[in-house]
C-alpha cells in the first residue's frame, strides 16, 4: 500500500495550464522548494547545475514570447530556470573539492584521489558526452522540485517549450559556462483551468513495472 500522503499529492499534481496570478507562494514555502533543488542528488555529487529564480516581472515578460507565449510564464507566482554546466573544467572540479573539504573538515590532500577520478571521468571525457550528462543531472533536480511542490500543495508546470538560446540571451548567460535546459513555473491553479478536473492517464502497473527475481 502506497503512503497515503505521497499518493494523494502525486494524484493531485498535474501540469497547470492556467495559474491564478493573484496567489503567491510564501517565502517559507519557496525556501523549502529551493532546498529540494539544493539537496537533489547528482552523479559524483558534483552538482553541474544552477537554478535561476526569475523575480523580475519585466524579464518574465521578455521570456514569454520565446516560450511559445505560454501564459504560465507571467501568471505563475514564481519561475525557476534550470541551468546546466556546458563544460566542466579542472577549475570547476577544484571548486567542488574545496567545498567537500570545507563541509567535511577533510584535508585537501586526502581528496587528491577523488579529484583525479573526477578529472579523468568528467574533465577529460568528450565534451558532447559531458554536456548530455550535465543536462540529465538537471532533470533529476527538477523531479525533486516537482514532488516537493506537490507535497506542499503548490502547483507546477515543467516546461521545455521555449527557445534555450533566447533564454540564455535574455538571462545574460552567454559566455558564463551555464545554459538553460528547462523551466518550471510554480503557483496555484486558477479555478478556470479545466485540466485540473481531468483524470490522470497512466499505463497499468503490468505495462510499466516488471520484477526481476
What does the DSSP assignment read for 150-183?
HHTT-EEEEE--S-HHHHHHHTT-TTTTEEEEEE
Q: Which residues contact 44 (CB under 8 A, 6 or more apart)?
A: 118, 121, 122
Count of residues in the chain: 213
Task: Report the sign of the C-alpha dihedral through residues 11, 13, 18, 23, in that order.
Answer: positive
Assigned domain for 203 exists:
yes
CATH number of the domain bearing residue 12: 3.40.109.10
- Averaged in consecutive runs of 10 residues, what is the pLDDT profile of the chain (213 residues)? 87 98 98 98 98 98 98 98 96 98 98 98 95 98 98 98 98 97 98 96 97 97
76 in any annotated domain: yes
Q: Is 74 left (phi over 0), alpha (psi -120 to 50) or beta?
A: alpha
Q: What integer pLDDT is reported at residue 80 of this predicted model?
A: 99
pLDDT at 147: 97
Please report whether residue 195 resides in a domain.
yes
Does any domain span residue 113?
yes
Please tell me the pTM assigned to this model: 0.96
**In this structure, is residue 213 part of a structural domain?**
no
Asked whether residue 109 is assigned to any structural domain, the reply reads: yes
- Owning domain of residue 66: 4-208
Counting the structural domains of the chain, the total is 1
Q: What is the pLDDT of residue 125?
A: 95
Residue 157 lies in a domain: yes
Amino acid at each position: 500500500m502506497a503512503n497515503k500522503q505521497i499518493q494523494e499529492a502525486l494524484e493531485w499534481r498535474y501540469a497547470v495550464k492556467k495559474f491564478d496570478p493573484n496567489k503567491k507562494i510564501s517565502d517559507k514555502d519557496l525556501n523549502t522548494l529551493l532546498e529540494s533543488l539544493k539537496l537533489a542528488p547528482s552523479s559524483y555529487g558534483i552538482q553541474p547545475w544552477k537554478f535561476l529564480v526569475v523575480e523580475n516581472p519585466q524579464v518574465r515578460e521578455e521570456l514569454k514570447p520565446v516560450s511559445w507565449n505560454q501564459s504560465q510564464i507571467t501568471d505563475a507566482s514564481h519561475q525557476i530556470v534550470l541551468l546546466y554546466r556546458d563544460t566542466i573544467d579542472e577549475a570547476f572540479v577544484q571548486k567542488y573539492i574545496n567545498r567537500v573539504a570545507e563541509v567535511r573538515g577533510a584535508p585537501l590532500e586526502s581528496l587528491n584521489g577523488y579529484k583525479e577520478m573526477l578529472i579523468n571521468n568528467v574533465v577529460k571525457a568528450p565534451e558532447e558526452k559531458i554536456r548530455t550528462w550535465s543536462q540529465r543531472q538537471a532533470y533529476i533536480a527538477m523531479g525533486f522540485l516537482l514532488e516537493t511542490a506537490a507535497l506542499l500543495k503548490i502547483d507546477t508546470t515543467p516546461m521545455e517549450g521555449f527557445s534555450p538560446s533566447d533564454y540564455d540571451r535574455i538571462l545574460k548567460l552567454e559566455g558564463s559556462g551555464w545554459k538553460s535546459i528547462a523551466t518550471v513555473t510554480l503557483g496555484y491553479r486558477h479555478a478556470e483551468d479545466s485540466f485540473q478536473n481531468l483524470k490522470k492517464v497512466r499505463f497499468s502497473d503490468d505495462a510499466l513495472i516488471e520484477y526481476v527475481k
